[in-house]
Amino acid sequence: MSKISDVARRANVSVATVSRVLNGKKVRPHYKAAVERAIAELEYTPNRTARSLRKKNSELLALIIPDIENPFFTALARGVEDVAHEANLSVVLCNTDEELEKQDKYLRVAEEENVAGVILAPCGNSSYLEKLVSNGLSVVGVDRALDEVDIDQVTFDNHALGKEAALALVERGYKRIACITGPQGTPTAVDRAKGWVEALSGSEAELFGDLLKHTNFRADGGESAMLELLRHPQPPDAVLATNNLIGVGALRGRISMKEHGIGVAVIGDLPFMAEGLDGVDFVSLNPKEMGLKAASLLLSRLRGESKSPVHVIQPI
């Protein structure tokens, strides 16, 4: 089996130069080409574990998200992976299913595997997360704000998103506008519902507490809440769905009840919804851009380029 010294001898460069090429650092083009040619000729494979021990961190990033089946997080993951690939890092994807216990489990695995850093879409805060951050693990939060932990974060202005989506329905003349949002206590769900309240309070539309429904962030929750609203003695004439999968469920409910005149506004995009989109407004997000920004922040932190944590609000 070839060693790094063999590569250096074949390329007629120092071992340090080979190491710089392997770690993606800046090297003169002709040296880089010689090293890459030697690696190919010798079929050299770096010892990732040994390099990890020397660098004190592995070449892995952990991406921990709540729902791998949600296209929003798929696009976010693509952005993270694009940046990681350019930095010669690999991404390990972990799915929490909105369970704090699973989130802590994956954070523990990340610590044990000595990952370089973590990008986390949290389902909640925990003392274990706080412990890891205090011990020096680089963590970037995405999508859902964490006020209790001093870390870099990339989120949306969720209050503004809720308000914009609700106003789209108001401007189309709807008067009795309901809101289907995520679980109580989830910042994203709460803030988007607050935007709905503000939009309706400043308009001629009616605002009733029984038109606010909390559910999970999945299509089944959105459909169940939509059916409940449509069976109300005084059903709404329009509904705001505060994320993409809730929107899918709401539209399924509208179709099944044959209530095609009910207006719907969705925060997010519906990449696999091909029918039932008449009378639907969308407030589009760019989750891939969020992934790109979060990964860039993490790399800056790992390189020692960042000082105080920053909270980036991604433009709508």
- Edge-to-edge strand ranges of the sheet holding 212-214: 212-214, 177-181, 238-241, 263-267, 280-283
Model pLDDT, residue 259: 86
| Res. 138 pLDDT band, cuts 50 70 90 | very high
Angle between helices 4-11 and 29-42 (to 10 degrees): 120
The model's pLDDT over 40-83, given as tens digits with 9 standing for 90+, comes to 899 887 755 445 434 556 789 999 999 999 999 999 999 999 99
| Res. 224 pLDDT band, cuts 50 70 90 | very high
User: Using alpha carbons only, how large is the chain's radius of gyration in Å?
Assistant: 24
Quote the tokens at residue 244: 């993409």
Burial of 233 (0-12, 13-18, 19+ CB in 10 A): exposed
Q: Taking all residues of the chain, what is their mean pLDDT, rounded to a whole number?
A: 90
CATH number at 54-150+288-314: 3.40.50.2300
Query: What would the mean pLDDT of 192-205 be, rounded to a whole number?
Result: 92
Strand pairing of 139-143 and 117-120?
Answer: parallel
- Distance between CA 296 and CA 300 in Å, rounded? 6
Model pLDDT, residue 50: 46
Q: Which residue has the higher pLDDT, 33 or 124?
A: 33
Model pLDDT, residue 53: 39
Residue 87 CA, distance from chain mean position? 20
Share of the chain above pLDDT 70, in %: 94
Task: Judge if 4-46 and 54-150+288-314 fold alike in CATH terms.
Answer: no
- Flag whether the pTM goes above 0.85: no
Got the DSSP string for 79-135?
Answer: HHHHHHHHTT-EEEEEE-TT-HHHHHHHHHHHHHTT-SEEEE--SS--HHHHHHHHT
| Res. 275 pLDDT band, cuts 50 70 90 | low
The domain limits of the chain are 4-46, 54-150+288-314, 158-285
Residue type, 192: R
Nearest in space to 292 (alpha carbons), one of 64, 83, 36, 65: 83
CATH 1.10.260.40 matches 4-46: yes
CATH number at 158-285: 3.40.50.2300
Model pLDDT, residue 193: 97
Give the C-alpha distances (Å, rounded to integers) separating 121 from 183, 250, 312.
Answer: 15, 24, 14
